[in-house]
Structure formats: C-alpha cells, structure tokens
Amino acid sequence: MSLNWNGVIPALTTKFTKDDELDLKLFEKNLNAQTDAGVSGIIIGGSLGEASTLSIAEKETLVKFAVSYMNDKLPVIVNIAEGATKEAIALAQSAEKWGADGLMLLPPMRYKSTDEETVKYFKDVASATSLPIILYNNPVDYKTEITLEMFEQLADVPNIQAVKESTRDVTNVTRMKNKFGDRFKILCGVDTLTFEELAAGADGLVAGLVCAFPKETVAIYKFIKEEKYKEALEVYRWFMPLLEFDINPQLVQYIKLTEVYTGIGSEYVRLPRLPLSGKKREDAVKVIEDALKNRPFFD
C-alpha cells in the first residue's frame, strides 16, 4: 500500500491484559475507533506504544494483527528505535516481511551520535529496505537533532520521505518548506502544537491523544485543511488541557487513563511503568472528566 504521509496518523498505545499479555481484542476495538474516525494510517511500537518493553515476537504479533485487520484499507507503520545499526536493519527487514507498509526511524538510541554518524545510520537502514520511511526528529527527548544540513544529505535517499517534526520549534515547518519544498512531507509530532504547525503548512500529524479522541483529532486536521480556522480553534482550545498529557514524561500512563474514560483502552502498563496514582491521578481525572462534560459533538 502506498503512503502519502498526510492526515492523522496515531502513534498507538499497546494494549495489555491484567496478566501482562497483549490484549488483541481491545487493540481491535481501538483500531476500529481510529478507522471510523478517518485516520490516515497507524504507527505500532512507538515510545507511546512502550516499544522498549516489547519483545520481537510481540511486535510481530501486533504488526501482523494490524495488517490483517486493515486489509489494505490503511497503512501500518512500524517504529524503529534501536541502539545499533545491525539491530535497526534486522527490525526493518522483519517489519517488511510481516507486511508493514512503512517505517518510522529514530536516530540511534542510548548513544548520542554525531551528525555524520546519524546520517550514515539513516542511509544504512534505508538502503536495507524498500519500505518508505519517516524520520523522527525529537532532540528534546532523544538529544539528537536532524538539522537542515543533515536533511540535505538525505535528500537523495528516495525512501526517506517524511519527518515527524518534534523539535518544539514551529518555525522548522517553514524552514523545511523553504529549503526543500515538497521533497519531505512534514508531520507535526507534538500534540500541543497541532494547530500552529498545520496552519504553517505541515502535511499532517503523528498524534498521541488521538488514541483516546480520534474524531476530535481528525476534525482539527480537516478544519485547518479546509481553512476553517475558527472551527479548528474551538476544538483545539477545548482539547488543549488533554493535549498537555502528550508532553508529560508519563504520557503513556496519562493517555492510557484517558483511553479508559473514552472506552477504547485500558490502564494496564508494563513494568517498570506504574499507573498514575495520588494527586497526579486525581488531577488527570479532573481534566478528563471536565473535557468529557464539554466534548464537541461530531456526526
């Protein structure tokens, strides 16, 4: 399936049972909510999906299940966040065999690579697969920035096609468009910058709170692309207290708790993570309940 790298692409949470097994029934329920809302694809095994705690066998199960469920209706994208080039290549090639339609590729994990090392890493992985790739540019959390100069060196790699823009600098959308035109598709990667980056010309977004509120997330995207900025702002302003969960170090727990309240997820996380408790939980519940009381209505 071809990937256009636009629209809303959820970075899905991984559903677990109380016995710490994959909950494929609940995963299917969430997939159904996402497809009904009109998302453009799904990402499996991102940081929100607790990828570092998943085994290769679990990743294979999730990808094959999603590919079968989607049945060519929507692309399935697999996240790659490995410490060694060899491991990243192996996972990329496995994902292709499992039937994935694309890859999201982070810089090397745990070791802060130089610009030269990062570019070579991306090129080495890209050359080992035919799948289209979106790079994840998140220097805030992962300490390695993919600069304009580095993108220039990657522009001749045909299957590196897009970037998840998470630098927190909204002007990067304009800088990328000015320098490269449409060579790289740009997807906003920070929920709290959704309106600003889409309005600046981003092609789509890789979202987190969409896991719990798919219709509202898709509505913001559609409103902005239709230049209905007033309507988009109304939803965005309602959404903002929830979107703040996406930039919290415990975003997994916050977003999973929110999924419980919208009926399309569970709170089970994999150790060492623990569910929210105490005041953090009380404050989060208040934000969620307040939002649900005033939730916009969409047909």
136 is catalytic: yes
Burial class (CB in 10 A: 0-12, 13-18, 19+), 137: buried
Q: How far apart are the first and last CA of the chain?
A: 29
CB atoms within 10 A of CB 135: 24
Q: Are 256 and 265 in contact (CB under 8 A)?
A: yes
Distance from CA of residue 96 to its chain's centroid?
A: 19
SS3 (DSSP) at 207 = strand
β-strand 204-207 against 185-188: which pairing, if any? Answer: parallel
β-bridge partners, 135:
105, 163
- Lookup: tokens for 207: 């979202």
Q: Which two tokens stand for residue 224?
A: 């902005």
CB atoms within 10 A of CB 246: 22
Exposure letters 23-60 (e unless 16+ CB within 10 A, then b): bbebbebbbebbeebbbbbbbbbbbbbbbebbeeebbb
Q: Residue 270: name the closest of 91, 25, 15 by CA.
A: 15
Query: Which one is catalytic: 136, 142, 254, 268?
Result: 136
Q: What is the DSSP letter of 106?
A: P
Closest C-alpha among 177, 181, 153, 156 to residue 165: 177
Look up 164 and say whether it is catalytic: yes
Catalytic residue among 164, 185, 215, 256: 164
Contacts of 196 (CB under 8 A, 6+ apart): 170
Residues belonging to the active site? 136, 164
